[in-house]
Structure formats: structure tokens, C-alpha cells
Amino acid sequence: MSWLAIILIVWPLAWALNVAMVRSAFGETRAVSLLVPLVFGATLILLWEGLVRHFNVMPVILPAPSAVWARFVDSRELLWGDFQQTVLKGALSGYAIGCIAAFIAAVLIDRSSFLTRGLLPIGNFVAALPIVGIAPILVSWFGFDWESKAAVVVVMVFFPMLVNCVQGLRETEAMQRDLMRTYAASYGQTMWRLRLPAAMPFIFNGLKISTTLALIGAVVAEYFGSPTRGMGFRISTGVGSLSIDLVWAEIMVAALAGTVLYGVVAWIERRLCFWHPSHRK
Amino acid sequence: MRAALPVLVVLALIGALWYAAVPFMNIRVSLDLAERMGETVEPEGVNVRRELSVPTLLLNNPGRIGETFRLERPRLPTPGQVLSELWATSGAMVLEGRGFSKRSLIYHGWITLRSTLSGFALGLALGLAGAVAITYARVVERSLMPWAIISQTIPIVALAPMIVVLSSQIGVEGRGLPKAIISAYLCYFPILVGMVKGLNSPSDQQLDLLKTYSASGFQSFWKLRLPASMPYLFASLKVGIAAALVGTIVGELPTGAISGLGARILIGDQFGTPLAIWAALLAAAILAGLLVTALDMVQRSVLRRRGMAA
């Protein structure tokens, strides 16, 4: 049986399965919510595999998922080294520095309503700019190693994080702040017990946006010069030397890293912001 | 006016900080340059100076501080230098009648704008189609939504060179299409999420009312859901167009493109002309501002006509 036939049979079947699962009595259970997208994703991968095999697409153009997986298993060590260089050293350190700096800046700015009013529009505007273009400048300032990648990430995550923190700190109502005053709460106490918890959903929104930006920044910065390891380096040289399966394996690692990073932040958010309407059951 | 004053003060503060940083960033370059020209600097020798801190160098050579603002290849140019470079590669060339020559930022900005708009249109179509499908078919929401979220956690730049290779292998000439795909990938998500929210914003009461009028599915979509989603649509369009511009510039950065603002940044890096990089960055910022402002104006006029002025 040809691959095309398999696709034409499996695809509608999988879709029918999903429809049946969603409409069934168990449609709202957790297992089904996990299973439905998994079936959908598996179908997509099968579609990719089948089309590549059926049309005999050359591996230098688009390798089949099975070939990518084989390459991934073969070069685990290489990929792990790239992962360390780009994600652990470049992206995560920049992410931590940038987010903490933005948070501290937001708390400081928040003390003056004049500064807040001046900085919010500017921050909002800068957050929408294509800041990744600053990568070559920072690479020439901080050298080729991971420090320059971390610097790019710091600049990229700073403004979205700052805007979210400042906005979050303004979230409390006058009534709530008055209540804290009647309790004779100090600035620190009001901050810790009222305003920070109220700002949490916003802070986590900024943290979640920043996870993706951090990876983008770290990878792009490597296109402008890096030591001979790192995900961006491997991708750009891999495209040049036509080892496309390695590039796809690297993309797989990037996708996994991005998803896990986002998932971790979302998990912490659910733990800390369980009281927020969007997380209530 | 009351809203503008704080913004202006903060802008002035940022400008002042920038100018203050320039001597610190540039003094080493400036001293190296002066020494090569045969002038006496304190202390002599690049290697000796490398051991010293920047403030010491500034204190030793107060006469050189003025030069740090006028370097041809500064590590950090002044805002004035960037502005004059921007003018030299845009406005001044228009005055000479060469506004669309390949060295003008207007030409490169136009290339970037074109890809951004086509990517934005593609992302808009994808986002709207996805939102409608999700609103009307529960199975689509359950299958697609998790993947839409995951797709945004994947650093698209990793995919950018692949998209370029793929489309050139399939026989698509030029870089327009791959850039548009990358920017569509980045901008469809905010539009999808915003429109799902917007299309679901009518209350049950309103939907029930349309049912009592025996409105068809299409009618309730066209007369209730779509108009109700307008405020959400515009909010997400503004996020989306900014994301589309980021996508285009990212698409131009690593892929060896020769035209477009991202390519100007790349070329400026390869030829060691920092002023060109900064001017291209500023041009990209201006483009982003223009696009968002244009959408803002459309939003105001549409919402006013619909009686939903915000």
C-alpha cells in the first residue's frame, strides 16, 4: 500500500476519532484534553512522513521526521553542547538578568507617578520595536561568547517585562490601598501583602512573553558571530553544508526548550496565582 | 499636553543618559585613533591602556572627550550622529532625486514594508480563519489551540534559514515569500487569540435574541459576532503588525538578503559601519511607529462609526 493511501485513510479516521472524543461523555476530562491535540499532532507528523516518502523528496530539501529523529538520537552529545551554550548560558542568564532588572526598575519607577506616566507609553512603544536588530552591535561590544548573547536577551526582555510590571503594580484599587492605610501598613507591607500579589498575573504575563523572546535573541545573536558551538551557529552552518536533518534536529531541540521553558513559567504561575479568575476551576 | 509632558521629560532623560555614556564607550577607540595619527595620548600603547579603567583614561585625556562625539566608526554613536546618518541616507537623497536608489533607506524600508504587509495579510487571513473555526467547532479548538500556543514558544528564527532554503528549492524566486511566511507565523497568533475572545464576546442574551429572530448562523455571525469583535480585532491587529515587522526583519537578518532594513543591519555589521546599523534600526523603529499609528487611526474611525468610540 502506498504512503498516499495510508494518509488518505488515517487522516479522516484520526479526525473522526477526535470529533468522537470531544463529543463523548468524557469530552471535558483531562485525559481527552491531552489526547485530542496529541492525536492531531501525530497525524500531522504522519502526514509529513508520508508526503516526503510518497513524493521522494530529497533529504537536502525536507527530511522525513524519522530521519530527523535518527539524527537526533545519533548526535545527542553535540546537541546537548549546543543546548548548554545557547539556552543555559546565553538565554537563561540573560532572561534572569533582564527580568530581575526590569522588575527592580518597575518598583523604582512606580514610586513616582510622573515617571510612570512618562515611561509607560515609551516602554509600550519600545516593546513593539524589532529590538533583535541590536544583536550585531551587542556582539561587537561583548565579544563572540555567550556574554553577548545574554546581553541581547537582556535588552529584548527588559521592556516587555518592565511594561507588564509597571502596569501590574498599578492594578490595586484606591479602596484596597486605603484599607492598607487604615491598618497603618508601611510601604513595604503594602507592597508585599497587597500590590505584589495583585501584580502577579501581569508579572507572569511578562515572564511568559519573555521566554520566547529570550530564545529568539540568543539564537539570532549567534548568527552574528559565536564560538563553534551553539544552536544558532549549528543552524546557520548546517544550512550551508546541507546537513538539513541536523538543522531540523536542532529546531526540534529549540522547540522543546521553548515549550519546556514556557511550561515551567506557566506551572509556577498556576501555583502562585491560583486565586486569579483565569485559573479557577 | 498633560500627557505629553512626562513623556518628553523621560525622553530627554534617556537622551541625556545616552550622551553621557558616549565618552565612556568611545574613549578607547578615540585614543587608539589619535595615537595612530601620531598625536600624544596618555598613556601610550594600546596594551598599556587595556589594563586601565575607562574613567582613568577619561581623566588622563580630558582633551580627547570632545572627539568621542565625532568619531566616524564609534562603538556608541550619539543620537545626533544617528539622526544625521538617517537624514543622509533618506531625506537628503530624496532632495537629490535619488530617493529610490539602492543606497537609500527609503528603498530598503519599502522592501521591508512590502514583506511586512504581505506577511501581515497572510497572518490575518490565517488568524481570522482559525478564530472562526475555533468559535464554531469545538473539536478544532481542542485540537488546534494547544499547538497554536506551542508554535509560539518555538523560536521562529531557528526556522528562518530553513524556510528560505525550502522555498528556493521549491522554485520560489526572491526572498519576498519566505520573509512573509516568517512574519505571518509571528503575527497570526495574537490575531487568533484576540478574535476568539472577540467572537465569543456577545452575551448569551444577545445570541438568544438573534435566535428568536430565527437568524441563520451566518446572519448571527455577520450582524452580531463580527461587529462585537471589532475592539478586540483592532487591539490584536496592533500587536500583530508590530510582530509582523519583527518577523520580516528577523527574516532578513540571517539569510543573506541584500535589500531590506534587516539586510542593512547585516551589511553594516559585515562592513564595520556602526552608523549604518543604527540608522537602519532607527528607520525600523520609525516604520513600526507609523504602522501602529496608522492602525490606531483606522481603529478610531471604525469604532466611532460603529458607535463604540473608546
- My answer on whether B64 and B111 are in the same domain is no
3-state secondary structure of B306: coil
- My answer on whether B218 and B156 are in the same domain is yes
- My answer on whether B155 and B239 are in the same domain is yes
- My answer on whether B48 and B112 are in the same domain is no
Domain that holds residue B109: 105-305
Quick check: is B12 in a domain?
yes
Q: What is the pLDDT of residue A281?
A: 56
Start-to-end C-alpha separation, chain A: 47
Chain A residue numbers with beta carbons less than 8 Å from the beta carbon of B162 are 235, 239, 244, 247-248, 251
- My answer on whether B62 and B150 are in the same domain is no
> Given an 8 Å threshold on Cβ–Cβ distance, is B239 in contact with A61?
no
- My answer on whether B214 and B163 are in the same domain is yes
- My answer on whether B68 and B181 are in the same domain is no
Query: Predicted confidence band at A103 (pLDDT cuts at 50, 70, 90)?
Result: very high
Kindly state whether A121 is in contact with chain B, defined as any CB-CB distance less than 8 angstroms. yes
* Spatial CA neighbour of B130 closest among B198, B210, B230: B198
B127 vs B147, more confident: B127
- My answer on whether B53 and B151 are in the same domain is no
Out of B55-64, B189-198, B229-238, B288-297, pick the least confident: B55-64
Please give the grid coordinates belonging to residue A24: 463523548
Q: What is the pLDDT of residue B1?
A: 59
CB B157 within 8 A of CB B254: yes
**Residue that the C-alpha cell 591602556 belongs to:** B49
3-state secondary structure of A56: coil
Question: What is the pLDDT averaged over residues B104-108?
Answer: 85
Q: What is the CATH number of the domain that holds B153?
A: 1.10.3720.10
Amino acid, single-letter form, for residue A229: R
Amino acid, single-letter form, for residue A208: K
Question: What is the pLDDT averaged over residues B193-218?
Answer: 88
* Probe site for chain B from A29, A58, A114, A137 (most B CB atoms < 10 A): A137
Q: How many CB atoms lie within 10 A of CB B91?
A: 14
Q: Which of B61, B76, B91 is the last residue of a domain?
A: B76
Q: How many CB atoms lie within 10 A of CB B77?
A: 26
Quick check: is B81 in a domain?
no
Quick check: is B90 in a domain?
no
Strands of A104-247 (E only): list them: none
Amino acid, single-letter form, for residue B199: L
Q: Which of residues 76-115 of A touch B (CB under 8 A)?
A: 114-115
Quick check: is B89 in a domain?
no
Task: Please give the model's pTM, rounded to 2 decimal places.
Answer: 0.84
Phi-psi label, residue B44: left if phi above 0, alpha if psi -120 to 50, beta otherwise: beta
Please give the grid coordinates belonging to residue A53: 516518502
- My answer on whether B281 and B220 are in the same domain is yes
pLDDT tens digit sequence for A32-43: 878 888 888 888
Quick check: is B82 in a domain?
no
Tell me the backbone φ, ψ of residue B225, rounded to 5 degrees: -65, -45
Chain A residue numbers with beta carbons less than 8 Å from the beta carbon of B249 are 130, 132-133
Tally of structural domains, chain B: 2
Quick check: is B100 in a domain?
no
Average pLDDT, chain A: 86
Q: Which of B57, B76, B95 is the last residue of a domain?
A: B76
A155 vs A281, more confident: A155
ω into B43 cis (within 30 of 0) = yes
- My answer on whether B301 and B169 are in the same domain is yes
Quick check: is B94 in a domain?
no
The ipTM value here is 0.80
List the Cα angle B103/B289/A258 in 5-degree steps. Answer: 95
CA–centroid distance for B246 within its chain: 4
Phi-psi label, residue B214: left if phi above 0, alpha if psi -120 to 50, beta otherwise: left
Question: What is the pLDDT averaged over residues A121-145?
Answer: 84
Please give the grid coordinates belonging to residue A175: 479602596
Statement: residue B172 has pLDDT above 70: no
Which ranges constitute the DSSP H helices of chain A? 3-23, 30-54, 65-74, 76-83, 93-110, 113-127, 135-142, 146-169, 174-182, 187-190, 196-223, 231-240, 244-272
> Given an 8 Å threshold on Cβ–Cβ distance, is A141 in contact with B281?
no
Quick check: is B68 in a domain?
yes
**How far is Cα B185 from Cα B166, in angstroms, rounded to an integer?**
16
Q: Which of B76, B91, B125 is the last residue of a domain?
A: B76
> Given an 8 Å threshold on Cβ–Cβ distance, is B278 in contact with A137?
yes
Query: In chain A, whose CA is at the least distance from the CA of B170?
Result: A61
**How far is Cα A96 from Cα A94, in angstroms, rounded to an integer?**
5
CB B282 within 8 A of CB B82: yes
- My answer on whether B72 and B161 are in the same domain is no
- My answer on whether B134 and B37 are in the same domain is no
Chain A residue numbers with beta carbons less than 8 Å from the beta carbon of B262 are 130, 133
